[in-house]
Structure 1
Amino acid sequence: MIEQDRALYRPLWTVSFDEAVTLVRAGIAAAMRHQVKDLLVDTTALRGFPSPGTFQRFLMAVEWAEEASGRIRLAMVALGEMIHAQKFGVTVAFNRGLVNNVFTTELEALAWLDVEPGKGSPTRRQ
């Protein structure tokens, strides 16, 4: 769903972790084709894989950052058990040019997206 300069993507499937990463990458690509500036991806309905390890998080973050090419802000919504305590993936992606963050609710993610681009760190909490 696209509203003004923001896209919302809520995939709902049972997939492997690699397939989940590919789905999000496809969402990033679609948002960029529609020239939106912000993308909210809610992954809470994706099932079929455990919480990723550090290396999986690293590869995921690099892949998404490469796809976004610094042209989109990404707010993720994930189950609490899927979020790394120090938001490792967020940091990796941010260091590669993707302004992003991860939250447990869409409300938090939307509030973060409502902050002007470039304000604060990628993990700034509202």
Structure 2
Amino acid sequence: MSDLHLLHVDDEDDIREVAAYALEIDPAIRLASASSGAEALAKLGSGLRPDVILLDVMMPGMDGPSTLDRLRQIDGLQTTPVIFMTARVQAEERDRYATLGAIGVINKPFDPMALAADVRALLAAGRHD
């Protein structure tokens, strides 16, 4: 299994902590995290190039969809897979996230023991190469 570079963006410290613990169970995941869309964009603008971005939908200031829109304007990130994390998972919302370019949605609260596998499954399903 090859290394997977992942950026997790969530404004809640406890969610970032649980997700970090859950993701780092997988020794092939290299994790970076950000506490806001602005922090994520700063890291990405400084050259961070993750293989996938796990992005909270509801954040103060700049929400997940706005962050996704802005990161798509950064050279080299136009096709980086993005997975939204949210408690709002009705069908019409999932459709909207797909329209925005997300390859999938992980429900909150998430299962920490399955998070890494869920990310890998969405990446595998989202690949069309």
Question: Shorter-chain TM-score: which interval?
Answer: 0.3 to 0.5
- Please, what TM-score do these two structures have when normalized by structure 1? 0.47
